[in-house]
Each structure stands twice: as C-alpha cells, then as structure tokens.
Amino acid sequence: NTATSSSSATANKNEKLPPGVVLDKDGKPCRLCTSAASWRTMAKKASTASSSVAAGAVLASATPSSSSSSSSSSSTSNECPPDVEQLGRSTWTLLHSLTASYPTTASNEQQTDMRSFLGLFSKLYPCWVCADDFRSWMADPSGKNEPRLSSRAEFGQWMCEAHNAVNRKLGKKEFDCNFWEERWRTGWKD
Ligand code: FAD
C-alpha cells in the first residue's frame, strides 16, 4: 500500500516518477511516505535515466552508502531506512502499547499529557501525508473522533478506531475493537 492523502502529493502527474511515489514538501520523493515496492521501481527507473534531479536523489538514497565501512556488521549491512509500511507497523506498536500501559483511570494531568502527545505526534509523524490525514480525522467537525482519554478502556478503544480509519482508507480489513486488549495487552486466551 502506498500513502494516500486528501492532499495531491503523489507523483503520478510527474511522468518521470512511477505511480505510488509520494513527494515530500520540498518536491523530492518521500521515502517514509512511499512503499518499498514503489521506491524500488523508481530506483530502477532512475538507474536507467539518471539525468533527472529526482533520479539523482533517489539513487543517492536507494543505493547502500559506499562510506559504510567494512567494519559494519553483516547483520546490519542489509538493513535499510523504513518505508511507509514498516514505519507504520512500528508506530502502531508504540501507539497501541501506549494504550495498553495507560492507567485504568487517568488523572487530569495524565489526560493532558496524552492529549499533548497526540497533538504533537499528529504534526510530527514523518510520513507527512499520513500525518495530515490523521490530524484531519481527529479534528472531524462532529467531534466524534476527539481522543477519549479518561481510562485505558476508552483510550484503547479510541486508538483501535483510529487505526481502523487508516485501515479503511487503505482498503484493509478492519480489526474487531472488542479484542484490542488481547492483541496489545493481555495476549490471547488459549
Ligand atoms: P498495520 O496496519 O501496521 O497493523 C499492525 C498490526 O496491528 C496488525 O497486524 C494487527 O495485528 C493490528 N491491528 C490492525 N488494525 C488494528 C486496529 N484497528 N486496532 C488494533 N490493532 C490493530 N500508510 C499509508 O500507506 N498511507 C497512510 O495514509 C497511512 N497513514 C498512517 C497513519 C498513522 C497514524 C500510522 C501510524 C500509520 C499510517 N500508515 C499509512 C501505515 C499503515 O497504517 C500500516 O501500518 C502499513 O500499511 C502496514 O500495514 P500492516 O498491514 O502490516 O499492519
């Protein structure tokens, strides 16, 4: 899946770049907004038509750095920067784990801290198109998507709904939120 957004950030209009590649705000391809598959297609294209500026940028970041010394261990030398999916999986792990460790009943201060975190997170998430859409979802004019932070049960449910909103946007199956706690806190019953 490729990052999609209400903003027209994908590079489809740019004939030099393959579909699915999302541009950063500076006009260069955004790796953290693009799937590894689209990125590879672009890198291949770039290697055969290395005249464009974008291609240069892609090649520079898609090719393992020659400066990485031979001392780098073999276990890390194949590791690459994350694409939109890897970043997403890791981030959902963090976000759902935050709900799992949230107090059963949260104090005003704990609720304020989490509200601040979510506000900043939705501004700073490195896939900017994902962040824009997430922020818009939270700010739905009806108020129905405002973070619900009074307790672990409420917050866990809310995060599950937030994740499902992204699942829907990407055409993925929705998760049954009755089971968020088994998935992220207690583990499944045998
Ligand atoms: P993920 O969706 O990453 O889910 C990981 C695991 O969480 C699943 O295996 C499942 O066990 C569990 N799970 C799934 N749904 C739920 C749920 N509702 N509640 C609880 N647990 C659940 N990618 C894009 O291409 N475009 C976007 O615009 C975009 N926006 C994103 C916005 C945010 C805030 C985040 C954190 C990620 C976003 N992503 C986006 C990434 C995307 O959501 C996925 O992480 C990525 O596509 C990898 O998906 P996956 O199928 O491996 O599982």
Cα gap 30→132, rounded to integer Å: 14
> By residue range, what is the domain housing residue 27?
11-62
List Cβ neighbours of 136 (8 Å cut-off, separation of 6 or more): 6
69, part of any domain = no
- Interface confidence, given as ipTM, is 0.99
Could you tell me the distance, in angstroms and rounded to a whole number, from the CA of residue 48 to the centre of ligand 1? Answer: 33
How many angstroms is it from 167 CA to the middle of ligand 1?
Answer: 6
Q: How many domains does the chain have?
A: 2
The answer to whether residue 94 sits within a structural domain is yes
Q: What is the pLDDT of residues 62-76, one digit of tens each?
A: 543 334 444 555 677
Question: 15 or 132, which is more confident?
Answer: 132
Atom of ligand 1 nearest to the CA of 91: 36
pLDDT score for 64: 39
Structural contact between residues 42 and 29, judged by C-beta atoms closer than 8 angstroms: yes
Query: Is residue 77 in some structural domain?
Result: no
pLDDT, mean of residues 166-181: 98
Q: Which residue has the higher pLDDT, 7 or 86?
A: 86
